[in-house]
Structures are given as structure tokens and as C-alpha cells.
Amino acid sequence: MKYIEPHAHMVSRTTDDYLKLALAGCEILCEPAFWAGFDRSSAQGFFDYFRQLTDYEPKRAERFGIKHYCWLCINPKEADDPVFAREVMSLIPEFLEKKSVLGIGEIGLNKNTRNERIIFEEHVQIALEHDLPILIHTPHLEDKKKGTRMILDALANFSRLNREKVIIDHVEEHTAALVLDQGYWAGMTLYPESKCTPNRAIDMLETLGTERLWLNSACDWGVSDPMAVPKCALEMKRREHSAEFIEKVIYHNPAKFLAQAKNFQL
Amino acid sequence: MPDKKKIADLHFMNARCQLIDLAAFFDRMDRHGGPDDYRDLALRAAVPILLEKRPDRAKAVLDLLSDDSTELLDSAPFQGAFGAPLPQQGGAR
């Protein structure tokens, strides 16, 4: 079984995890820029992080036959200070020249503040100026529904935006239809506790269909599982879904969305 | 599509385990002192949804555990989230 892991934070994971991913059939892995678990004290910290994402991680993944791509931004958790956020964002154009950069992400909202929204909109503008796809993080737990609605409202103001080039991630049962109904892609994140379990994600695939949906582990420094996607594929098989159904969800769907990025190659 | 028996064969034991764990959590909260906790109250408020005849109970529970306000905040009061809206966001008291 081959699959694409479209959202994983490998800077937080061990090399052993790359081995496990490769053994499970992962051929391509995409890493959005995110919050490292602590606030960085300077834009230079992000410069080094962007170097890690664009230079070091592709080499580490390549040792296991996995193609590594990344997305760049300042994540919403560190975007509540617009002066600092803009300093980091000024670094992005230089890194867009790198051959493994897919687009802008994971941008979005965290606590649904005015400044988070301003910086989110400025990131969208960068993506439009460079004709890049966008990967959007939606807030956690009780903040998710409100944040998802606010993100959709903000995106609606960009008349030039091609909604098929935008994926809104971490959807759950109360936000998935909101996203899909407006023509965007939706990502379901498989977490042990705080997002979707594999069976809930499969329930959504059964009720919403498989168009414009992908699965990811979003594995990072927290309680998360880099094997979540292949485990969900196994659960789909136990629930009598066909090999074609499973391959569409874990390979062809992410490939279709990611193919809109100029640098992406299967 | 598998029938009800197949789904129960696959998932009943896990659901049973989670239901008993929830019951034990309520017992545990009741045994311990201190003021009521908004998260515990939010879970108890969601329990009746489980017995409603509807196709979207998971969505309804998530809706109940969501901040329903519509205003942007002036600044982030903290970075994390707790799983149920705070009382000042309209959560359970």
C-alpha cells in the first residue's frame, strides 16, 4: 500500500519515525510550518526553522525513500504580534525559491483574535501574489467552530481566490460540511484525543463522500501518531471499504490537491 | 457496507469501554471536593444528546462543546484550549 502523508511535523520526530513511515508505504510527506511548542524569540529563529524545513528535512526523508515537501508561514499561535509576524513573513519570499516548497501554510487562527485574522489575510495575499496553494489550520477544541466560520468569512473577501487551491485542515463533524459546501478542500487530522479518531474520520467519509477530503496524522511534539494514516487505512479495510476507495483517500486525493503546487511531483 | 452485527463486532467493546470510562469519570468527579467544573458540567449536558434519535449526534456534541460567540478577541488570553467553552464564553456554570 502506498500513501501520502500530507501533514506531518517531522522536525519534532525521530529518524526512527521516518523508517516506520517508509515501511508503512509512505512515499511523499508534506510538512507545514507550525508552532514549535514554544514561542521563538526572534525572526532569526524562523530563518533557521525555514532552513531546516527546506534543506535538512528533505535530506533526512530521502534516506528512507520519502519525498519531503513543506509549506511556509508564521503559524497563528505566534501571529498575535503583527510587527513580529511581518518580520517573519518578510523572510518567506527568499525561501519560495526552494524546490520543495509547496505553498503558504499552515496559516489560520488560534484564539480567534483581530491580529491573528490580519496576519492570516496578509498570508493569503502572499499566496495570491505568488500563485501558491494555501493550507489552513483551524483552532483547537472549543475554538474550532468559531474560528472556522471566521476563516471562511475572511476568505470570502478574496475575490481572486481559487477555492480549489485551499485546504482547510483539522475539520471535524461540526465543521467539515461548512468547508466543503463552500468549495474548499478539507483535511481530517487523526489524533488519539483532541481531533478525529480513525473511525470518526471514516464515518465522515461515508456520510460526506470522498471528494476534496484528505487524511493526515499532523504528528508533532505532542500526543500524536505518525502511523495514524496507515492505521486508518486498515480500519477502512476492516469496515469493508474497497482497495480503490482506500487508495483514493490516502493517495489520489492528496496527490490531486498537491499537484496544484508548481514544485510538486509524484 | 457491513451490517449492524459486523459494526457491533468491530466496535462494541471499544464503545462499552468508553461509556464505562465516562461513567467512572462522573463518579470520580462526584467523589472529590471543590466547586463544580465547567468541563464536567459540559459533558453532563451533552449526555442526553446520545439518546436522541438523529443521524448527527457527534456533530451535536461538538456543537455543544463549542464557543458560540461571534466576536474577534482583542488579544489572545492564553494559547491553548480546554475542550469546552469557558463560563464567560457561554459555557456550562
pLDDT digits (tens, 9 = 90+) for B14-37: 999 999 999 999 999 999 999 999
Residues above pLDDT 70, as percent of chain A = 100
Closest chain A CA to residue B72: A113
Closest chain B CA to residue A194: B83
Q: How high is the pLDDT of residue A192?
A: 87
pLDDT at A186 > cutoff 90: yes
Q: Which helix (H) or strand (E) holds A4?
A: strand A3-5
pLDDT at B89 > cutoff 80: no
Please, what is the average pLDDT of chain A?
97
Which among B58, B66, B74 has CB closest to A114? B74
Confidence bin at B90 (pLDDT 50/70/90): confident
Domains and CATH numbers, chain A: 3-258 (3.20.20.140)
Could you give the C-alpha distances from A133 to A60, A74, A155, A197, B59, in angstroms and in order?
A: 25, 16, 13, 27, 29
Q: Considering only CB atoms, which chain A residues are within 8 Å of B7?
A: 239
Judge whether B63 is closer than 8 Å to chain A, CB to CB: yes
Q: How high is the pLDDT of residue A63?
A: 98
Number of CB atoms found within 10 A of residue A99's CB: 10
Q: What b-and-e string marks burial along A47-79, b requiring 16 or more CB atoms within 10 Å of the CB?
A: eebbeebbeebbebbeebebbbbbbbbbbbbbb
Query: Cβ contact (<8 Å) for A150 and B56?
Result: no
Residues on A contacting B at a C-beta cutoff of 8 Å: 77, 80, 110-117, 139-146, 149-150, 172-174, 194, 199-200, 203, 206-207, 238-240
Contacts of A74 (CB under 8 A, 6+ apart): A33, A46, A84, A85, A88, A89, A119, A123
Q: How high is the pLDDT of residue A109?
A: 97
Q: Considering only CB atoms, which chain B residues are within 8 Å of A115?
A: 75
ipTM above 0.85, yes or no: yes
The mean pLDDT of A254-262, rounded to a whole number, is: 98
For A191-224, the pLDDT digits (tens) are 988 899 999 999 999 999 999 999 999 999 999 9
For B45-82, the pLDDT digits (tens) are 999 999 999 999 999 999 999 999 999 999 998 889 99
Query: Cβ contact (<8 Å) for A240 and B73?
Result: no
| SS3 label, residue A136 | strand
Query: Cβ contact (<8 Å) for A141 and B81?
Result: yes
C-alpha cell at A155: 476568505
C-alpha cell at A152: 471562511
Q: How high is the pLDDT of residue A258?
A: 98
Torsion angle in degrees (nearest 10) through CA of A13, A90, A113, A174: -50
Tell me the residue ranges of DSSP E strands in A146-184. Answer: 166-168
Q: Smallest CA–CA separation between B35 and chain A, in Å? A: 22
For A60-87, the pLDDT digits (tens) are 999 999 999 999 999 999 998 999 999 9
Please, what is the average pLDDT of chain B?
95
Q: Smallest CA–CA separation between B23 and chain A, in Å? A: 18
Query: Cβ contact (<8 Å) for A143 and B81?
Result: yes
Could you give the C-alpha distances from B68 to A104, A153, B43, in angstroms and in order?
A: 29, 15, 16
For A90-119, the pLDDT digits (tens) are 999 999 999 999 999 999 999 999 999 999
Contacts of A82 (CB under 8 A, 6+ apart): A115, A118, A119
For A161-181, the pLDDT digits (tens) are 999 999 999 999 999 999 999
Q: Considering only CB atoms, which chain B residues are within 8 Å of A195?
A: none
pLDDT at B93 > cutoff 70: no
Q: Considering only CB atoms, which chain A residues are within 8 Å of B86?
A: 142
Q: Considering only CB atoms, which chain A residues are within 8 Å of B70?
A: 146, 149
Q: Considering only CB atoms, which chain A residues are within 8 Å of B6?
A: 240
